[in-house]
Structure 1
Amino acid sequence: MADAGTGTKRRKMGERKEANNSKKSAATKWPNIKPKLNLQIHRLKDTDLFTVNSPVVIVLCLCFQVKNFFTPAESRAFVKVAESMGFAHQGSLGPLKGEAYRDNDRISVNDPVLADAIWESGLSKLFTDIKIRGKVAVGLNPSIRFYRYKVGQRFGKHIDESVSLGDGKRTHYTLLIYLSGGVKAKAKNDPSTPNDTSLEPLVGGETVFYGSRNNLVAEVAPTEGMALLHIHGDKCMLHEAQNVTKGVKYVFRSDVVFA
């Protein structure tokens, strides 16, 4: 969410540099990612940015969803691997100290192979016609993060920063893939179940976007396997991850890189 991964970033909203809990992933056995066919973009209402580049009007999609990007098996396999690696708590000093309120658990790994596998599975095709300042999307940030929100945890209003990765590469979109939500509770004998709390259906944890006057623009409920992409940096909309009231919210996070 607010952390944009490897690289230099401005700390808007006074966000504190996070604890370094990055893990090496060379020996991690990630789920096999199947090719994604016929993926479709679902634009969120009132989140398009219209700019005029005479005589052409350019429409930049600030925020969109891709349903069923991960299969249920892929989502649950990522949860299982993440739980086996172990999460570290992430917090903040809160708004009174100039920081966005944050209370969740996090894992960070650097894995270019995993990033490429997800990008080439179908995500790259969705960005074929999207250009930002003359640059095109070339892949995902190899800095991969997993978030876990338990009951009572949330991430307050914040923006995500654009990050320079060197060699003219810069991140411009946040990628969130929900690994839980919108499905019935799993059976107790399901081997993919990482812990007892995941038996409960997820309630809460919506990602909410706000406009320039702090008015609600869009609200996205977590749904297992759904990808949510939104522009970040100077065009990033203020957003938050709302309180989880039941179950556990798991999220895969990376960034789309342009060059």
Structure 2
Amino acid sequence: MPKTKAKAKGKAPQPKPSAGPLPTWPLVTMHAEALDVREVIPDHVYTIADLFSLEDCQRWIAFAERGSGFPAVGPVVAPPRGHAFRNNARLAFQDPAFAQMLWERSGLARLLAPWRLAGRRVVRGDRSTAPGPRPVGLNGNLRLYRYEPGQRFDAHYDDWVLDSLGRRSEFTLLIYLNDPGTDPSGVAGPSRPGDPGGETVFYPDRGTAVAVSPRAGLALLHRHGAHCLRHEGREVHRGVKYVLRSDVVYA
């Protein structure tokens, strides 16, 4: 597949955070049990099952739809030069204090504390004092995505950013709030036949595709910046896909 960047060095365009008052955020259940990390692509892509409970996911979807409301998606036009095509609805909020609370209550702070970066490598389980950036929180720029049938995010790269506190992001964090194959409301219901689509697909090598299917409560972590793999959000064919997005910042 041809290499398409979302912007120079692969920086995907970001929606501007809302300029209005901060919302009353949904409750996030505090994790009492150990979380399980699955390595999908070494040093690049990881998943965490059940980071959010089903109840958490339901609250976030209700918040997005009723509390704030997604803006209408405008006419489909060609993206600016160097950007990847996307046509999903998006919301963005800037709230570093809530992002820090989410980092701690979700269990990510405890889980990722021993993850040290050593160039291209991700050193997990390192509780030594060896040098190297360590995760310290989440980017306060919190984004909510909604993908309806026919919507997608074409292949691109995610660039690093400095958050409002001057910390550098190293991982994209996607928390899937539902499985598009469930009830169209996205919160519950029996599975429906047919391919719902909406997978996040990575291309580590030419001709190789590694897909992660959305599932309620599943978190996806992947390196970005210089070590980002080309990836895309496949078109949703049926149902609606909801995603909460932030970035893991290091210091």
Return the letter of the residue paired with 1:86.
Answer: G
Between 1:80-89 and 1:135-144, the stretch displaced more is: 80-89
User: Aligned-pair distance for 1:28?
Assistant: 1.9
Q: Root-mean-square deviation (CA), in Å?
A: 2.9
Where does structure 1 differ by over 4 angstroms across 4 or more consecutive aligned residues? 198-202
Partners of 2:19 and 2:186 lie apart in 1 by 20
Change (3 A) 1:158 1:105: same
Which of the residues 17, 31, 35 maps onto 2:31?
35
- What residue is the counterpart of 2:157 in the other structure? 159
- What residue is the counterpart of 1:235 in the other structure? 227
- What residue is the counterpart of 2:110 in the other structure? 125
- What residue is the counterpart of 1:211 in the other structure? 204
Say if 2:175 and 2:218, in contact at 8 Å, map to a contact too: yes
Return the letter of the residue paired with 1:28.
Answer: T
User: Aligned-pair distance for 1:224?
Assistant: 0.5
Change (3 A) 1:100 1:72: same
Which of the residues 166, 169, 179 maps onto 2:167?
169
Partners of 2:96 and 2:32 lie apart in 1 by 19
Partners of 1:106 and 1:116 lie apart in 2 by 22
User: Aligned-pair distance for 1:113?
Assistant: 2.9
Partner SS state of residue 255, structure 1: strand
The within-5 A match list for 1:75-114 is 75-84=57-66, 85-88=68-71, 89=73, 93-94=78-79, 97-114=81-98
1:140 aligns with 2:138: yes
Partner SS state of residue 160, structure 2: coil
- What residue is the counterpart of 1:68 in the other structure? 50
Say if 2:86 and 2:152, in contact at 8 Å, map to a contact too: yes
Change (3 A) 1:143 1:101: same
Number of equivalences: 227
User: Aligned-pair distance for 1:22?
Assistant: 2.1
Tell me which protein shows more strand as a share of its residues. Answer: 1
Which of the residues 9, 34, 50 maps onto 1:12?
9
Tell me the TM-score normalised to structure 1 length: 0.77
Return the letter of the residue paired with 2:46.
Answer: F
Partner SS state of residue 254, structure 1: strand
- What residue is the counterpart of 1:22 in the other structure? 18
Tell me the TM-score normalised to structure 2 length: 0.80
Partners of 1:115 and 1:94 lie apart in 2 by 30
User: Aligned-pair distance for 1:18?
Assistant: 4.9
Change (3 A) 1:32 1:64: closer
Change (3 A) 1:247 1:220: same
